[in-house]
């Protein structure tokens, strides 16, 4: 193996640049040429790739976003586009591909492996929604950004003795909501994985106020309900309160990656290169008990579901269990 390529796909995530840097540096350590594919699978199909140099990744470890740009390109589900992608790679004499992205991007990597082209996945998504791994690159940064925003909102919430409903991202997963909610000391955390009773949420908020709190926070995962809808319904249960809703939205995908995201991105970027050199394909990397682990894409994605940290969710319920 002399040449490999790397791309980023799906929603960007802080730490993707750190992973790209590690792929390039580890590739160079092994005497490989590393190509960067721009604009995800779309760029791959269109042949939008070039040789990376140290200059491309210099300074990038501390930057959010992805220097390779990203794309959502549903057309990559079509076999003809997957075959075109392989033709482009072969034209450049590239023997292996590293795909940094979420669960959707891993399906793209899998399709290439099934057609005989070696591909390896690195989990890069703020959602933390990939089965197998406990952790995805960008999650820690997104939670940190969300928490910073929630803390700021709590200042004004306290001044006006308000209840704020704060919608966080995560697509179908409640991970960002749980972590940001526990870290913020939220009165309630609403996630798609657990049902909730609006009257019970209202009771908890009211009980908190009665016990001396001067504001309340409800952290709502986008996959559970839209914030406007939630606020409208919630207000009917607490007509005496001033309630505001806010969606943090794409701010959660921006900013410098945290140390944790940079370290795991660097470890996984380097490991992906090592695996390609060992002849592995159809696998992805993840983190288990703070160590890089290897997962089979088919086995793990098709037979497992992502699980949220139920223990943290339950802990928050216990900590907010107050009587009126
Ligand atoms: N079944 C599939 N087969 C081939 N390619 C796929 C498949 N599903 C998704 N992809 C490719 O992966 C891209 C990214 O997928 P998706 O939009 O689901 O984001 P993701 O990688 O899960 O990241 P995130 O959820 O963080 O945005 C798609 O736009 C498409 O190009
Ligand atoms: O940037 P887009 O395409 O609007 O996608 C937003 C989605 O992407 C993510 O930020 C990452 O998957 C989700 O949390 C969110 O639902
Ligand atoms: Mg996804």
ipTM > 0.95 (yes/no): yes
Please say if the pLDDT value at position 240 is more than 90.
yes
- Structure tokens that stand for 128 in this block: 């933390």
Q: Locate tokens 């309160």: which residue?
A: 241
Average pLDDT, integer, range 64-69:
98
A 10 A CB-CB count for 306 gives: 18
What's the Cα-to-Cα distance from 282 to each of 112, 117, 220, 269, rounded to whole Å? 9, 9, 35, 16
Is residue 17 within 8 Å of residue 63, measured between CB atoms? Answer: yes
In the chain, % of residues over pLDDT 90: 97
Domain of residue 94: give its range.
3-126+259-288
Question: Are 66 and 206 members of one domain?
Answer: no
Do residue 117 and residue 17 come from a single domain?
A: yes
Average pLDDT estimate for 66-90: 98
Domain count, the chain: 2
CA angle 283, 284, 285 (to 5 degrees): 135
Q: What is the pLDDT of residue 324?
A: 82
Q: Can you tell me which atom of ligand 2 is nearest the CA of 250?
A: 10
**Ligand 1: does its nearest atom lie under 6 Å from the Cβ of 75?**
no
* CB distance 314 to ligand 1 below 6 Å: no
pLDDT score recorded for residue 209: 96
Q: How big is the CA angle at 40 (ends 38 and 41), to the nearest 5 degrees?
A: 120
Averaged over 168-186, what is the pLDDT?
Answer: 98
Q: What is the mean pLDDT of residues 307-312?
A: 97
Using an 8 Å Cβ cutoff, are 166 and 153 in contact?
A: yes
Residue positions forming the annotated binding site for substrate = 125-127, 162, 169-171, 222, 244, 250-253
Ligand 2 pocket mutation, candidates 11, 136, 221, 247, criterion most atoms within 8 A of CB: 11
To the question of pTM greater than 0.95 for the whole model, the response is yes
Indicate whether residue 127 lines ligand 1 (CB < 6 A): yes
- Whether 192 and 214 map to the same domain: the answer is yes
Domain of 76, CATH number, reads 3.40.50.450
Same domain, 108 and 13: yes
**Closest residue CA from atom 18 of ligand 1:** 104
Tell me the pLDDT band of 225, cut-offs 50, 70 and 90: very high
pLDDT at residue 110 is higher than 90 = yes
The pLDDT of residue 249 is 98
Q: Return the sign of the alpha-carbon dihedral for residues 100, 106, 108, 110.
A: positive
Examine the domain organization and report whether 15 and 107 are in the same domain. yes
Q: Give the catalytic positions in this structure.
A: 127
- Give per-residue pLDDT as tens, 22-38: 999 999 999 999 999 99
Q: What is the pLDDT of residue 303?
A: 87
Give the pLDDT confidence score for residue 301 in this predicted structure. Answer: 86
DSSP for 142-208, written as a single string: HHHHHHHHHHHHHHHHHHTT-EEEEEE--TT--HHHHHHHHHHT-SEEE-TTS---HHHHHHHHHHH
Residue 119 burial (C-beta neighbours within 10 Å; 0-12, 13-18, 19+): buried
Neighbours of ion ligand 3 (CB under 5 A): 102-104
Closest CA to 168 of 157, 177, 158, 160: 177
- What are phi and psi for residue 287, nearest 5 degrees? -120, 130
For ligand 1, is residue 108 a contact (CB within 6 Å)? yes
Q: Does residue 162 have a pLDDT over 90?
A: yes
Kindly report the average pLDDT of the chain as a whole number: 97
* CA of 13, closest atom in ligand 2: 11
Q: Report the CATH number at residue 219.
A: 3.40.50.460
Average pLDDT over residues 135-144: 98
**302 pLDDT above the threshold of 90:** no
Q: How far apart are CA 143 and CA 287, in angstroms?
A: 17
CB hemisphere CA count around 242 (13 angstroms):
9
Give the ligand at the shortest distance from the Cα of 72.
Answer: 1
Q: What is the pLDDT of residues 122-139, one digit of tens each?
A: 999 999 999 999 999 999
Same domain, 79 and 221: no
Report if residue 211 sits inside a domain: yes
Say whether both 207 and 277 belong to one domain: no
């Amino acid at each position: 193996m002399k040449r490999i390529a790397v791309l980023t796909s799906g929603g960007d995530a802080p730490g993707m640049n750190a992973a790209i840097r590690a792929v390039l540096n580890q590739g160079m350590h092994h005497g490989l040429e590393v190509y960067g594919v721009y604009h995800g699978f779309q760029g791959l199909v269109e042949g939008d790739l070039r040789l990376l140099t140290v200059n491309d990744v210099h300074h990038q470890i501390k930057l959010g976003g992805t220097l390779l740009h990203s794309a959502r390109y549903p057309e990559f589900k079509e076999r003809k586009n997957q075959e075109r992608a392989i033709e482009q790679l072969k034209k450049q004499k590239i023997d292996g591909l590293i795909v940094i992205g979420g669960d959707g991007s891993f399906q793209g990597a899998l399709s290439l492996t099934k057609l005989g082209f070696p591909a390896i996945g690195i989990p890069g998504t703020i959602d933390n929604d990939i089965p197998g791994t406990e952790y995805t690159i960008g999650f820690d940064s997104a939670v940190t950004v969300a928490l910073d925003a929630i803390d700021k909102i709590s200042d004004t919430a306290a001044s006006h003795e308000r209840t704020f409903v704060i919608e966080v991202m995560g697509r179908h997963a409640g991970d960002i909501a749980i972590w940001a909610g526990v870290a913020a000391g939220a009165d309630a955390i609403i996630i798609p994985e657990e049902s909730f009773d609006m009257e019970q949420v209202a009771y908890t908020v009211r009980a908190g106020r009665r016990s001396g709190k001067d504001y309340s926070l409800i952290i709502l995962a986008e996959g559970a309900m839209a914030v406007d809808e939630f606020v409208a319904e919630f207000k009917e249960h607490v007509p005496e309160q001033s309630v505001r809703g806010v969606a943090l939205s794409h701010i959660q995908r921006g900013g410098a990656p945290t140390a944790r995201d940079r370290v795991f991105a660097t470890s996984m970027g380097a490991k992906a290169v090592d695996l390609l050199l060992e002849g592995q394909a159809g696998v992805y990397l993840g983190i288990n008990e703070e160590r890089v682990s290897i997962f089979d894409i088919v086995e793990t994605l098709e037979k497992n579901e992502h699980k949220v940290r139920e223990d943290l969710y339950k802990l928050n319920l216990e900590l907010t269990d107050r009587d009126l």
